[in-house]
Chains A and B, each alone.
Chain A
Amino acid sequence: MAMNGKGTLLDAASLPVKEFDGIIVGGGGSGMMASLQLAKSGLNTAVVSKVFPTRSHTVSAQGGITCSIQSADPDDDWRWHMYDTVKGSDFIGDQDSIEYMCKEGPEAIFELENMGLPFSRTDEGKIYQRAFGGQSKDYGKGGQAERTCAAADRTGHALLHTLFQANVKAGTNFLSEWFAVDLVKNQNDQVVGVIAFEIESGEPFFLKSKATVLATGGAGRIYQTTSNALINTGDGTGMALRAGYPVQDMEMWQFHPTGIHGHGTLVTEGCRGEGGYLINKDGERFMERYAPNYKDLASRDVVARSMFTEILEGRGCGPDADHVFLKLDHLGPEIVHKRLPGVTELSKRFAHVDPAEHPIPVVPTCHYAMGGIPTNVHGQVISQNPDGTDKIIDGLYAAGEAACVSVHGGNRLGGNSLLDLIVFGRSAGLHIEETFKSGIELDNPSSGDIDYALRNLNRVNVSQSGENFVEVKKDLQKTMQMNFGVFRTEELMVNGIKEVSNLREKSQNIHLADKSSQFNTARVEALELLNLIEVAEATAISANERKESRGAHSREDYPERDDDNWLKHSIYYADSKQVSKREVNFRPKQVQAFQPIVRTY
């Protein structure tokens, strides 16, 4: 049964069912790490991915994966990495999760290397590590560390392909080019699978499962200028919100300092790690003024704000004085072309300059969602009980950029996302394996439950007239860019919230003109818009609610960090559109918690 233009409504009775032990929605780094774990345990697992797995956005990661594997520095210590990460998060990263990630990280890195990941090497034949922003030795006292493991500047590609290959070897079941639409819940608030369709045939299914993992990646496409792939539309986040589950810290969006001007494509922080630096129109290395110690390797939020300040104060470069330059030419072609071959390629293509000869025009670009679906260290999705305590959602997991286990808090350090993917992708897999061993029973959904999960797909499929979804998307991106950028004020945000709310209204009435069944990419884009709207609205409302400046969230009307009121996670629900607070975890297991200090670099 394929979807077609005849306006037939899909319902539970006619919908075919495919059943698996575990379903992983997402074939990026986090999804394929989870699936690998499950495939090895012999569970019947399927990876659902709207693109062929190696086309996932993880492939774009350039600079590397940060982890204290003691290769560049035999004395390196995971606790130093933990300290940097807590400080980088501006103290709203959960310290139990950060501890788990930094401590378990090396095992996951060595496992990947043993699986074949072609890391660059040191003269001693060990994994090469480079310097990245916000990295220190000895709890900030020992100067810049080199902790980011790299495969040239193509680490994400190397990692994703290695994971795909390992999954091929392990015999993982791929539902490649399938689009997941909505979660299916039973009457006990448990998740029992997803509605998805095969894009090629247009055939919809109920994919039934006792463990559903949302590993759907980022949502940078809510902004106009972003480093994110076109497919990064926050689908899993939208699905969770529509199912009534909360999201956490959605106001925290990282703007990466070095997006190529006019295109948004990224050049890695590794450029600065290798010795590159930023200059303004006077050729001044301005970061020396803003961050005297770490200069160009200060944390990303700090560098992005400094760049905008330079531009706003009239020291930007180019005819419109709207960008700055990233200088690499002093490093010489040897370093630039060998260590940064991918950057060289991108820069030539999109900025028309060879970075070994001329500086690259750059401007901050929306890059990464620190917020997402809240989980514990096992990837289990968390909601709240009426009294504000955590409630675990049976059957639902999240991992990777879509999740918020909160290792990044208010600001992510470079190279920590890839580590997050593999550590928590794996831990979710391990937990599912354990759960199956001890036995789980989830109630079957009623046909009403399934019909409910089909409502959006049905609405889009039968639409006869209404809004053009391409226009709604463009307006949304413009609104977010204007009102929720690097510097925020109440006035702009209140206005932005209104606009987003209007666009939500419109999105409830979009028209899919092309109703054909086979490889209908218009249908996919229409459904993606519904997710973009959810994510954007969560961002907008949470951002206005957090009345302080912390990490990436910088308000001109509340310029200070407010630990008395906001040393907290924000929690947002789509049905009530209300924001509440959740305690930050300050209870690591093996070290003393790091207490908030003023954050300088």
Chain B
Amino acid sequence: MNSIAANEIKTLKLSIYRYDPLKKEKPYMQDFDIDIPLEKDLMVLDVLMLAKEKDPSISFRRSCREGVCGSDGLNINGKNGLGCITPLSDAVRSNKLSIRPLPGLPVIKDLIVDMKQFVDQYKKVKPYLITDKKVDTREAIPQTVQEREKLDGLYECIMCGCCSTACPSFWWNPDKFLGPAALLQAYRFIADSRDTATEERLEQLEDAFSVFRCHGIMNCVSVCPKGLNPTKAIGEIKKMLVKRAL
């Protein structure tokens, strides 16, 4: 980006949440002026990397830079999303961009949150196929096109955490309410025609907290960068639980 003429550049007002657990200071917002080329619609992650060139001590996670690995869930101008696929044209308001860590989880450093609670909830729903059948290395378990279609919109989750950290019920009860991501995962296996543990799965989800703390506020749906719909999956689980109780 060395040879861009001045008139093709815009100066963006960037501010980044900073926190270092070993320093005495409280968390604060650090401001940067970042020159960005106008002809290209950069992504938020690109801008973070430009800022890191100015101050290498800024910490954030990133890997794929194409929206598939789930590393860089961030709170971008107040809305959760992935840095690498959120274009500035969507995110920037009045030339300002403010980036904070995902809300509701403990901050380790700067933009890096501790995902432990999130992953623990994921593990709780037994996120793997359970079948009566022994693993057979000679053939596939048959599944029709229609049965397979039921998994679309469920299996694509990248565990970025954008949804659960936008969910008020998860904020208040992160240890008990499983949260939208884990529940989406639970339903992904319930919906799989090859899985034979539906009953066991529903039983586990039955208590007042696991599922029923979801009040259908749909924050999760509006932030999911993969366009998934945890609310709908939760609704399906609720329906099955109600039916089962009758």
Q: Which residues of A are interface residues toward B (Cβ below 8 A)?
A: 51-52, 54-57, 59-60, 69, 71, 107-108, 110-111, 113-116, 118-123, 125-127, 151, 154, 157-158, 161, 165-166, 168-169, 200, 229-231, 262, 265, 342, 345-346, 349-350, 352, 470, 513-514, 516-522
Contacts and interface: CB of A to CB of B under 8 A. Distances in A.
Contacts of B65: 229-230, 265
B70 interface: yes
Given A125-B144, A229-B69, A55 B151 contact: no
Contacts of A121: 143-145, 147-148
A513 B53 CA distance: 12
A168 B63 contact: no
Contacts of A352: 41
Contacts of B126: 169
A116 B21 contact: no
Interface stretch (B128-136, B165-173, B213-221): B128-136
A57 B62 CA distance: 11
B139 interface: yes
A182 to B, nearest CB: 22
Nearest to A470: B53
A158 B157 CA distance: 10
Contacts of A120: 148
Contacts of A165: 127-129
Contacts of B60: 521
Interface stretch (B28-36, B108-116, B204-212): B108-116
Contacts of A60: 64, 66, 68-69
27 contacts: A51-B69, A52-B115, A52-B119, A55-B61, A55-B69, A59-B68, A71-B140, A110-B139, A113-B140, A114-B131, A114-B136, A115-B128, A116-B129, A118-B148, A121-B147, A125-B142, A126-B142, A168-B127, A169-B128, A229-B64, A230-B62, A230-B63, A345-B67, A518-B20, A519-B109, A520-B59, A521-B60
B101 to A, nearest CB: 12
B96 interface: no
B137 A516 contact: no
A107 B68 contact: no
Interface of B: 20-22, 40-41, 53, 56-57, 59-71, 85, 87, 108-110, 112, 115, 119, 123, 126-129, 131, 133, 135-145, 147-148, 151, 155-156, 158-159, 189, 192, 194-195
A119 B140 contact: yes
A107 B109 contact: no
A262 to B, nearest CB: 8
B22 A125 contact: no
Contact of B158 (A54, A126, A166): A54
Contact of A55 (B63, B112, B127, B195): B63
Contacts of B63: 51, 55-57, 229-231
A118 B127 contact: no
A519 B136 contact: no
Nearest to B41: A352
B69 to A, nearest CB: 4
Given A52-B115, A110-B137, A158-B155, A116 B128 contact: yes
A303 B151 CA distance: 35
Contact of A114 (B62, B140, B158): B140
Contacts of B41: 352
Given A111-B137, A114-B136, A121-B144, A349 B59 contact: no
A519 B64 contact: no
A157 B189 CA distance: 16
A522 B60 CA distance: 10
Nearest to B129: A116
Nearest to A517: B22
A54 B21 contact: no
Contacts of A54: 69-70, 158-159
Nearest to A512: B56
A127 B142 CA distance: 8
Contacts of A519: 59, 108-110, 112
A528 B135 CA distance: 39
Contacts of B21: 518
Contacts of B69: 51, 54-57, 59-60, 229
Contacts of A265: 65-66
A521 B143 contact: no
Given A118-B155, A158-B155, A346-B66, 9 more contacts: A51-B71, A55-B69, A71-B140, A114-B137, A119-B140, A516-B20, A518-B20, A518-B21, A521-B60
Contacts of B144: 121, 125
Nearest to A104: B137
Contacts of A116: 128-129, 189, 192, 194-195
B109 to A, nearest CB: 4
B64 A200 contact: no
B108 A113 contact: no
A107 B194 contact: no
B136 to A, nearest CB: 6
A126 B128 contact: no
A258 to B, nearest CB: 14
A118 B192 contact: yes
A491 B53 CA distance: 33
Contacts of A262: 40
Contacts of B194: 116
Nearest to A126: B140
